[in-house]
Structure 1
Amino acid sequence: MSIDSIPHTDPSTANEVTGMLILTQALKRVGIDTMYGLVGIPVTEFAYIAQGEGIKFVGFRHEQQAGMAAATHGFLTKTPGVLLTVSSLGFLNGLTATANATVNCYPMIQISGSSEREPIDLMQGTYEGLDQPNIAKPLVKAAYRINRPEDIMTGVVRAYRAAVSGRPGGVYLDVTTPCLGAVMDRKAAEATLYTPVDLCPAVVPSPQSVARAMELLAGAKKPVILLGKGAAYAQVDDKIRKFVEATGVPFYQMSMAKGLLPDNHELSVNSMRSYFMEQADVVMLIGARLNWL
């Protein structure tokens, strides 16, 4: 549904729309159909509008739990889970989950309303006047602020692409109260919306890198395959099983990769991973990071 097709009951405002409706339409243009969160000033009306336009809203009693649900949504669907929070303390509560999503590589977008910029920048003690984007930046993959309704579509597309591209992560999208409440001409607003292409372009390894890895693996005497949550996120279970069984290389699974292959598989070394890692001369990582584990 486009902005032009949305019915109006008040003839005096029939040619006008708010930033909240534009934000709703922008989210729909990138395929967002569900939000998690806890509403209040200044995003309550936006949540109502989003629901009216077909976006499901799942309400929680605390923003952190809502954010964890959004992050889980992102991991399971490979599309950003969206968390909606109010400003200040609600933003901070939700930021815990967004930071967690960033560290754990879950695609997620936290959208928070925020106060007017001028009194925040001048530290004049405005209502819930946190400088939210600057607080979020060190903890998330990317942080953007939208000040004008004309820029809403651009902000949503940038947030979506950042959340899903490369190594997925949490993105913070700050939408100011003046932007949410701004009024635009209906046709001018419609002109700012578009359907983006290639929100998550495929990243293909070079043939030389693949050939070098296969040569190294083929020459190994005691190889081991380590499966991480990236392998589960990719949802290529059948390909992994075929590769393991065709090569005969033993494997073990990190906790978030459990279920890719059964623990009782004849090539599983989950119960002896320390021994096998100590003895291995080549370790093939599939969707895993070299971390403390």
Structure 2
Amino acid sequence: MPPFTGAQLIAQTLLSLQIPIVFGIVGIPIIEVAEALVAAGIRFVGFRNEQAASYAASAYGYLTGRPGVLLVVGGPGVVHALAGVHGAQQNHFPLLLLSGSAPSTHLPTRGSFQTLSATAFLAPHTKLALRAPTPAHLPQVIREAYRSAFWGRPGAAAVEINGDYVTHALTSTELHPLLHENGALAVHPVPSPPQPSGSRERVRALAHLLMHTSQRPLIVVGKGAAYSRCEDVLNHFISRTQIPFLPTPMGKGLLPPNHPLDTSTSRSLALRKADLVVLLGARLNWILHFGAPPKLAPGVTVAKIDISAEELGRNLSIPGVSPSALGEDMSIVGDCGAVLVQLIEELDLAGWTPPPQATNPWINDLCLASSRSIAKLAPKLTTPTPAGKKLTYHRMFHLLQKAFADLSIGDNDNVGEGTHWADNCVIISEGANTMDISRTIFPSSLPRQRLDAGTDATMGVGLGYAIAAWCAYNLPLSKGVEETPLLGAPKRKKI
């Protein structure tokens, strides 16, 4: 057998984990790793800056449901990549960072090339940060970090790779325990994470609220629901219960646009008047005004469905909300889709049917508010900009939407007859005004085709996210709408 280096061992490990693509920037000491990846048939997407690469890898993880992999040099490479690592941890996107490092024999005080203890540096910002004690431990360490990134609540994981490990030629004694009898690397793919069901008692308690107590329920659909891929059961649940819903920007597309129960155009009223708010994979953070009055009604019951137990009680103890209405007893730890199945089962067992829409005052009030909002919005979109006046966001986005539609219609190879342009592209928006205004103008027809600045409100993610979307879906069109800070006008990027 020819010499088997640490770089080849890393590449074969990623290949065994069924990783098809790696993002990053090559440099000492991980040049050989990138070369080994390409030789093994893994696609390497190179960038000019680690920050953009880290954004791409994190978004790729969200879009595919498997950790995006990022390869960077040590020292400043790790520091630059921290932006995407932090964003992945805040957004709970699965990401695996592989970083170079100084030789294992060098003391930290030696002044080695791009020296930095990446493990110590990244530990506070990741779910798990590891360094292999020997080159032979690289497969075990990489697999463990990869699994950690998307099992449980997704996030970032990191592996620090010493420079001498990359070029180290493994001896037969080191290599033998790592191989199957047929000579293949003994690294098994990581299966999909378990999808845990919720506590039966808590599911029944929430179902009872929905059936017998709440007069004005509201389902808030977050990006956690999109990540869990629960769109089919969610559509069935909304059809079964006839409960109004509010998608967060990245929760759009799980349910059809222009759905009669979508409260996007009556958002303020829906949040302010709801007596029961069920957060489905959504957090009670700044995006939902922390759940505090007057945005939400005093005494509103807030119940959460989330994969993370730590999330259930956050921001529920707020002034103006009585302890009996916090909903912690109805909040459920579990996979969004699995819990929705349980709720449907409880409703079916009880033989419950929702009140008719036509006689439901809650739905009628929301529909009226939505009609008023749409009527108020229409002239902002369609009225031409007077001479000498600045183009508004509403008018610009309306024109962009028309341009996107024209581009799609003119490309017969990419868009089928009767297909909406939004079915064939990912919309990426960033900038406060852009995200706020565009969410009601640009439709999202399918799940996981909308990305934005996210939980951490990170500006500058647009290009990295667009490349990630193109790699994840191989879409003919990938469009981003961003704010130009100096001009205050949106601009379009097409990849």
Q: TM-score if structure 1 supplies the norm length? A: 0.90
Alpha-carbon distance between aligned partners in 1 of 2:192 and 2:265, rounded to the nearest angstrom: 40
Query: 1 or 2 for the larger relative contact order (CA 8 Å, sep ≥6)?
Result: 1
Question: Structure 2: which amino acid aligns with 1:208?
Answer: E
Equivalence for 2:266: 272
Return the offset for 1:198: 4.0
Return the offset for 1:120: 4.2
1:169 to 146, 151, 155: 155
Distance change >3 Å, CA 30–CA 190, structure 1 → 2: farther
Equivalence for 1:53: 40
Segment drifting more, 263-272 vs 96-105: 263-272
Equivalence for 1:85: 72
Q: What stretches of structure 2 of length at least 5 have no aligned partner? A: 179-185, 288-495
Alpha-carbon distance between aligned partners in 2 of 1:190 and 1:96, rounded to the nearest angstrom: 39
Equivalence for 1:238: 232
Alpha-carbon distance between aligned partners in 2 of 1:253 and 1:275, rounded to the nearest angstrom: 14
1:156 to 142, 145, 158: 142
Alpha-carbon distance between aligned partners in 1 of 2:3 and 2:122, rounded to the nearest angstrom: 33
Question: Structure 1: which amino acid aligns with 2:262?
Answer: S
Q: Which runs of 4+ in 1 moved over 6 A?
A: none
Residue by residue over 1:43-78, the C-alpha shift from the partner in whole angstroms, topping out at 9 and shown as x without a partner, is: 111101111011110111111111111111101110
Equivalence for 1:216: 209
Q: Secondary structure at the match of 2:23?
A: strand
Q: What stretches of structure 1 of length at least 5 have no aligned partner? A: 1-13
Return the offset for 1:196: 4.8
Equivalence for 1:102: 89
Q: Secondary structure at the match of 1:262?
A: coil
Q: Secondary structure at the match of 1:119?
A: coil
Please tell me whether Structure 1 or Structure 2 has the larger radius of gyration of its CA atoms. 2
Alignment of 1:189-268 (within 5 A): 189=175, 191-192=177-178, 193-196=186-189, 198=191, 200-219=193-212, 220-268=214-262
8 Å contact from structure 1 (residues 22, 189) kept in 2: no
Question: Structure 1: which amino acid aligns with 2:223?
Answer: K
8 Å contact from structure 1 (residues 229, 256) kept in 2: yes
8 Å contact from structure 1 (residues 78, 233) kept in 2: yes
Q: Secondary structure at the match of 1:214?
A: helix
Distance change >3 Å, CA 130–CA 120, structure 1 → 2: farther
Segment drifting more, 73-82 vs 276-285: 276-285
Segment drifting more, 110-119 vs 164-173: 110-119
Residue by residue over 1:175-204, the C-alpha shift from the partner in whole angstroms, topping out at 9 and shown as x without a partner, is: 111222222135742532321554623333
Q: Secondary structure at the match of 2:4?
A: strand
Segment drifting more, 192-201 vs 139-148: 192-201
Equivalence for 2:396: none
Equivalence for 2:114: 128
Residue by residue over 1:71-130, the C-alpha shift from the partner in whole angstroms, topping out at 9 and shown as x without a partner, is: 111011100100110111111111211110110011010100100245343x22121111
Return the offset for 1:244: 0.8
Question: Structure 1: which amino acid aligns with 2:207?
Answer: M
Alpha-carbon distance between aligned partners in 1 of 2:173 and 2:252, rounded to the nearest angstrom: 51
8 Å contact from structure 2 (residues 96, 158) kept in 1: yes
8 Å contact from structure 2 (residues 6, 135) kept in 1: yes
RMSD: 1.7
8 Å contact from structure 1 (residues 22, 152) kept in 2: yes
Q: TM-score if structure 2 supplies the norm length? A: 0.54
Equivalence for 1:32: 19
